[in-house]
Structure 1
Amino acid sequence: MSKLNIDQKTIKDLFADKKADFLIPDYQRPYAWGEKECQTLWDDIFAFAFPENDCDKFDSDNDEYFLGPIVTFKNEEGKQEIIDGQQRLTTLMLLLRAFYAIYGHMQDDRAIKTSKLIEQCIWKTDEFGDPDKNALKINSEVATDDEKNEFLYILIEGDAEGKHSRYAANFKFFQVKISEFLKSYPSYFSFLPIRILNNCILLPIEAESQDTALRIFSTLNDRGLPLSDADIFKAQFYKYYANKGKKDDFIKKWKALETLCNSIFHPLRGTPMDELFTRYMYYERALQENKSSTTEALRKFYERDGYALLKNDQTLENIIDLANFWKDVIAQNADRFSTQVLCQLFILNYAPNGMWTYFLSVYYMANRNSDGELNDEDLYTFLNQTIAFVWAYAITNPGVNALRAPIYAEMINIVKHKTIEFRGYMFDRDHVKRAFLNYRFGNNRAITKAMLAWWCFQQEGQELLSSETVFEIEHIYAKNRQTKEKSLEKPELLESLGNKAILERRINIRASDYRFEDKIKYYQGYINNRNQRKEGTKNIELLKLSKTATDFTGVDIEHRNQHIIWSFMEYLTQNGLMK
């Protein structure tokens, strides 16, 4: 069991401890508190120190104000590395330094004693308690914080003139507040800082390791984002490139990569950068010929052998290249991909699970040329195989975990430049047919829209659809029509694939409750009563249907349903996936 050192302490007891030596590590995020947070802190502390604006209503022996936990661990250099509490700790240091900047010049006996206590909180002291004003009790090494040196300068010099960082702005804010306090409550001047030092409480939690500290942080912190795996990876990269004299170059690349990931990845769990590292992990995993269906945690994978993978010049460049590849996929970049490839990528956006993103990432890393390009025909073949296999597997073997074994095995074949065959996982025609006929394609099942997206592009002449357009599932024979007319002899046909199509949301909203003859104008587009043109659908099958049919009946649904199923089985055969 991990050992924890937990001991509630006042600000004075925590900061003035001669052993106090805090480090904001390189993997932390930059300081983020602004005036709003500082105003809240000031208001709360003032209200605590002077209840009802009355100095005498404060009980110095018993009153306490809890500021929150501070989670640290002692690193190899003996410094208390801050995992949680960075924002609080930094702001309190700025507040104390602002007090010192004013009280340090006062000759009043109480001000002198207060200043002496603050000195012991900010600077390291000798055995007589005298401060070394070049030796702070806190340091910041945050890799992506260009302003951290201003923080240290302000603590040492007590001067923020001409500086515009968050540190400087907050320091100036506290200076103004303290000056206003002294003017408004001159008789209280000695009480505010001493009550902050003696009666404001922190809960320092010292863990025995970084991992333990991170777990505690994730458990305790419900306000901000806990440190991500990518933050830890950033620290390893930073140390590696700093040792090579390339620190600034790394920081520039990392910031650009972070911005790019934030714009293209929107994972349900973890950060956008974590998502990129996950996609790259599968490539490295395949190179290691690891086809185990149990996937280790992201950080556990990269921390092997002392983060050896991150101490390699090629790794960061590979990850950046992979991010740019996905940027072009998401942007539907026609300069990079042919129309036929972009159509397949559009279909994959509706995949029933996200496994395809890992599969494609491995394919790209293994097959790109020196310019980051892929052979178009080979890529087109690969994407068709992926769609055929993943779609069929989702119906015959539901559950993303079931997909791991065949996909992981093929990832290894990809990096070995072997033919993708899904050996041992090919489909039996009768089994696939029964699975399709027995499957209920409800709108809440991801495979339903996935099948409809695939079917849309099986139509001759279908143009590429924009990935930015929101498509919904359209019931060609409207559900409301069945409720009112009950003209379908087989009500179950209403929810079959034969009665569904993908349709732009803006059109689906208008057309959803109408008889087919009324839907035609919405499919085709029309001029409204304000003489405005309302565009029709880009789904060419619905366009053709609206021009050749006057109704859509149960018989039409059955015929279309059979056609979709038969066509998909032929698609499996064409891609070499049928036994």
Structure 2
Amino acid sequence: MSKLNIDQRTIASLFSDKRSDFLIPDYQRPYAWGEDECTTLWEDLKSFAFPNDSSQDFDSENDEYFLGPIVTFKNEDGKQEIIDGQQRLTTMMLLLRAFYSRFEHAQDDDTVETRKLIARCIWKTNELGRPIFDRLKIDSEVASDDDKGEFLSILERGVADGSMRSRYAAAYRFFSEKIADFVDRMPMYTALFPIRILNNVILLPIEAESQDTALRIFSTLNDRGLPLADADIFKSQFYKHFSAEGRKDEFVARWKRLEETAGLIFKPATGTPLDELFTRYMYYRRAKKGIRDTTTKSLRDFYSEGGYEILKQDATLDDLEALLDFWRRVDAQEGFSERVLRRLFVLSYAPNGMWAYLLSTWFLARRDEDGNLDDAELYGFLRYITGFIYAYSLERPGVNALRGPVYPALIDIVNGRDADFSGHLFDRETITGRFRSYQFTNQRRFTRSMLVWWAYSDPEQPLMDLDTTLEIEHIYARKRNEVHPLTDRSNLEALGNKAMLEKRVNIRAADYQLADKRKYYEGYTNDNGTEVPGTAVRELVEISRRGDFSETDIEGRTERIIAAFVDWLGELGLLRE
């Protein structure tokens, strides 16, 4: 069981402790507090120290203001590496430095003693307790923070002139101005305010025995902002590797581009965009290792193997950049043939995300030296995995079920063989029966998957942008069913009564009779003479032009969709003979 040292401490007790030697590590994010956060902290502290704007209402023996936890672990150099509390600790250091500068020429005993106590919180001290002014109690190695030098300079010199544009400088100037205003208005309380902050503001330092333990604690306790992502930890390993080779600046620039590009492309439900990139890359590296085990390790556990061996290889960052550029091109729908882009659009509505891992592995294994793929091979691969993933997801819903057949296929891909799902073929009658009995509710992802696949089974269906918002349209409208109910109520939610439709059109076309929907499907000119575009879904326009869509049409269309998909599986070689 992991050991923890937990001890409630005042600011003065924690910061002035001779053992306190804080480090903001390279994988942390840059300082993010702005004026709003600083204002809230200042007002809270002032109201706490002077309740009802009175010095007398404060109970110095019992009143406490809890600022929050500080989660750290002692690294190999003996420094307290900060996992949680970076923003609060940094801000308190700037606030204390602003008080110290204000008291620089103080003469009264109380203020002089307060200044001495603040000094012991900011600087390390000698054996006589005197500050060593070139040795701060906090340091920053944040790889992506170009302004950390300003932070340390402000603490050392107490100066943040107009040339400094960092958030550190802005926070320091903010506190300096607030302190000046406070001293002007309440000069008798000048020494009381910082003393009450030092002695009565409470932190809860939690010292873990290792980085992993500290990170787990942070993930459990943190309710302010985003916890450290796996990619933040990986960044620190890259940073150390490239720094040791004298390529620190090169790495910082490359990592920044990765962060920016990933943020534009990936929108994962959990984790950060870079976590998603590392996840896609992990499946490639798993396959390279020949791992078939369907128990998938977490990102951090996978990459930390062998002392983060994978992250100490120059090729890894090259691979990540190439993989991200590939997905950038997919997202931008550029650099691929029309037929490949159509397959990629359909896969973007797949029942689960396994296709992205298959495609990432295919790209890294099959790319040429310019990062391109053979169009015919890629097109065939996309069709094949679409058919398999869709059909397998119908028989065994959930991405976890796909691990069994997919992991061996990934190994085949990295070894130069085609993905082969011949050991998992489908029976025509069984898969047809599953389609017929499946409840195609709007909430099920598979419903959208099939409707998009069906739309693009039409070779004339135009390619839509990936950022197009598509919603499910009831061709025989629900409102119409209330007035003219279908004989079989289940037909209202049948696959044959549904299609994907752009949200902008769906809002207008929702509850009309089919004949009334036609102008919205086709597009029209409004009363102001503005052209209002219709839908890009060809089938809906064609259906509306027939004038009606009956229950018989619903049933017939349902059967056509099912039969077409099952026949397509046969064409792909995914049906048993």
Report what 2:518 is aligned to: 520
The equivalent residue for 2:27 is 27
The correspondence of residues 351-366 of structure 1 with structure 2, limited to 5 A, is 351-366=350-365
Deviation of 1:370 after TM superposition, in Å, equals 0.5
Q: Would the aligned equivalents of 1:421 and 1:576 in 2 still touch at CA under 8 Å?
A: no
What amino acid is the match of 1:448?
A: T
Q: What SS does the aligned partner of 2:423 have? A: coil
Deviation at 1:427, TM superposition (A): 0.7
Secondary structure in 1 matching 2:422: coil
Distance in structure 2 (CA, Å) of the matches to 1:468 and 1:116? 59
Amino acid at match of 2:84: D
Q: CA deviation at 1:349?
A: 1.0
Residues 74 and 80, structure 2, Cα contact 8 Å, conserved in 1: yes
Displacement of 1:50: 1.6
Tell me the alpha carbon deviations over residues 309-348 of structure 1, each in whole angstroms, 9 at most, x when there is no partner: 0001010111111111111111111xx1000000011111
TM-aligned CA deviation for residue 123 of structure 1: 0.9
Q: Secondary structure at the match of 1:430?
A: helix
CA contact (8 A) 2:425 2:574 kept: yes
Displacement, 1:538? 1.3
Other-structure match for 2:259: 258
Give the residue type in structure 2 aligned to 1:509. I
Compute the displacement of 1:439 (Å). Answer: 1.0
> Does structure 2 conserve the Cα–Cα contact (< 8 Å) formed by 1:230 and 1:273?
yes
**Map of 1:555 onto structure 2:** 552
Query: Are 2:494 and 1:493 equivalent residues in the alignment?
Result: no
Partner of 1:2: 2
- Structure 2 residue 468 is the aligned partner of structure 1 residue 469: yes
Structure 1 Cα separation of the partners of residues 418 and 481 of structure 2 = 49
CA contact (8 A) 2:405 2:424 kept: yes
Q: 1:102 to 1:527 in 2, by over 3 A?
A: closer
Give the C-alpha shift of residue 252 in structure 1.
0.8
Please tell me the residue identity of whatever aligns with 1:155. Answer: L
Residues 477-500 of structure 1: CA distance to partner in whole angstroms, max 9, x if unpaired? 2222222112x3322222222221
Following the alignment from structure 2 to structure 1, what is the Cα–Cα distance between the partners of residues 428 and 322? Answer: 40
- The 8 Å contact of residues 543 and 549 in structure 2, kept in 1 or not, is answered as no
Query: Is residue 137 of structure 1 aligned with residue 137 of structure 2?
Result: yes
Q: Which moved more, 1:30-39 or 1:231-240?
A: 30-39
Q: Distance in 1 between matches of 2:241 and 2:252?
A: 12
For residue 537 of structure 2, what is the aligned residue in structure 1?
A: 539
Structure 1 stretches of 4+ with a deviation exceeding 6 A read none
Aligned-residue offset at 1:399: 2.0
1:131-170 matches, within 5 Å, as 131-161=131-161, 162-170=163-171
- Deviation, structure 1 residue 425: 0.6
1:213-292 aligned within 5 A? 213-292=214-293
Matching residue's letter, 1:323: L
8 Å contact 1:104–1:111 — kept in the other structure?
no
Provide the C-alpha distance between the structure 2 equivalents of 1:51 and 1:493, rounded to a whole number of angstroms.
Answer: 68
What residue in structure 2 maps to residue 577 of structure 1? 574
Which residue matches 1:481?
480
Deviation digits for residues 349-405 of structure 1, max 9, x if unmatched?
A: 111111111111111111111000000111100110111111111112222211111
Give the counterpart letter for 1:518 in structure 2: D
Partners in 1 of 2:39 and 2:556 — Cα distance?
68
C-alpha distance in 2, partners of 1:432/1:354? 22
Higher mean C-alpha displacement, 143-152 vs 494-503? 494-503
SS in 2 for 1:424: helix
Provide the C-alpha distance between the structure 1 equivalents of 2:97 and 2:156, rounded to a whole number of angstroms: 9
Q: Which amino acid aligns with 2:33?
A: W
- The amino acid of 1:55's aligned partner reads S
3-state DSSP of counterpart to 1:144: coil
For residue 88 of structure 1, report the CA deviation from its aligned partner: 0.9
Q: 1:460 to 1:15 in 2, by over 3 A?
A: closer
Q: In the alignment, which residue of structure 2 is the partner of 1:62?
A: 62
Cα offset for 1:83? 0.7
Partner of 1:418 in structure 2?
Answer: 417
Q: 1:405 maps to which residue?
A: 404
Q: Conserved in 2, the CA contact under 8 Å of 1:388 and 1:572? A: yes
Structure 2 partner of 1:119: 119
Q: Give the whole-Å Cα distance in 2 for the aligned partners of 1:396 and 1:461.
A: 30
In structure 2, do the counterparts of structure 1 residues 178 and 567 end up closer, same or farther at CA, with 3 Å as the change threshold? same
In structure 1, what is the Cα distance between the partners aligned to 2:503 and 2:243? 51
The corresponding residue for 2:86 is 86
Query: Quick one: which amino acid aligns to residue 199 of structure 1?
Result: N
1:440 equivalent to 2:439? Answer yes
Partners of 2:427 and 2:575 within 8 A in 1: yes
CA drift at 1:184: 0.8
For the aligned residue pairs, the C-alpha RMSD in angstroms reads 1.3
Q: Which moved more, 1:436-445 or 1:297-306?
A: 436-445
Q: May I ask how many residue pairs the two structures share in their alignment? A: 575
User: Which secondary structure does the structure 2 equivalent of 1:483 belong to?
Assistant: helix
What secondary structure, in the 3-state scheme, does the structure 2 residue paired with 1:419 have? coil
Cα distance, 1:124 vs structure 2? 0.9
1:431-460, CA deviations, whole angstroms, 9 ceiling, x for partnerless residues?
A: 111111111111111111111111111113
CA contact (8 A) 2:119 2:131 kept: yes
- C-alpha contact 2:523 2:531 (8 A) present in aligned 1: yes
Quote the Cα distance in structure 2 between the aligned partners of 1:180 and 1:83.
34
- d(CA) in 1 for partners of 2:63 and 2:426? 72
Q: 1:516 offset after TM fit, Å?
A: 2.0
Deviation at 1:24, TM superposition (A): 0.6
AA paired with 2:343? Q
Offset at residue 511 of structure 1 (A): 2.1
Asked if 1:344 is matched to 2:361, the reply is no
Distance 1:528 1:100 in 2: 68
Q: CA deviation at 1:56?
A: 2.1
Cα distance in 1 for residues equivalent to 2:512 and 2:11: 69
Partner of residue 105, structure 2: 105
- Give 1:72 deviation, angstroms: 0.6
| CA displacement 1:199-235 (0-9 Å, x = unmatched) | 1111111111111111111111111111010000000
Instruction: Provide the rounded CA distance (Å) in 2 between the counterparts of 1:452 and 1:342.
Output: 17
Task: Provide the rounded CA distance (Å) in 1 between the counterparts of 2:116 and 2:459.
Answer: 83
SS in 2 for 1:395: helix
Deviation of the 1:528 alpha carbon: 2.7
Mapped partners of 2:491, 2:455: distance in 1: 19
Q: Does the CA-based 8 Å contact 1:293-1:404 persist in structure 2?
A: yes
Deviation (angstroms), 1:421: 2.2
Taking the aligned partners of 1:479 and 1:55, their CA distance within structure 2 comes to: 68
Contact 2:280–2:357, Cα closer than 8 Å, also in 1:
yes
Provide the identity percentage: 56
Deviates more, 1:374-383 or 1:417-426: 417-426
Deviation (angstroms), 1:533: 2.3
Distance 1:550-1:56 versus aligned 2 partners, 3 A rule = closer
Contact 2:523 2:534 in 1 (8 A): yes
Long gaps (5+) in structure 1: none
Letter in 2 for 1:248: D
Question: One-letter code of the match for 1:380?
Answer: Y
TM-score norm. by structure 2 comes to 0.98
Pick which of 530-539 and 190-199 moved more.
Answer: 530-539
Structure 1: distance between partners of 2:453 and 2:340: 13
Can you list the C-alpha shifts for 1:159-202, whole angstroms capped at 9, x where unaligned? 11232211111111111111111111111122111111111111
Give the counterpart letter for 1:256 in structure 2.
R
Check conservation: 1:449, 1:473, Cα contact below 8 A.
Answer: yes
Give the counterpart letter for 1:512 in structure 2: A
Partner SS for 2:56 = helix
Partner Cα distance (1:209, 1:431) in 2: 53
Structure 2 residue matching 1:57: 3-state secondary structure: coil
Tell me the equivalent position of 1:301.
302
Q: What are the Cα deviations for residues 233-261 of structure 1, in whole angstroms up to 9, with x where unaligned?
A: 00000011111111111111111110111
CA separation in 1, counterparts of 2:474 and 2:50?
66
CA contact (8 A) 1:421 1:577 kept: no
- In structure 1, what is the equivalent of residue 456 of structure 2? 457
Q: What TM-score, normalized by structure 1, do the two folds share?
A: 0.97
Match status 1:192 vs 2:193: yes
Equivalent AA in structure 2 for residue 552 of structure 1: F
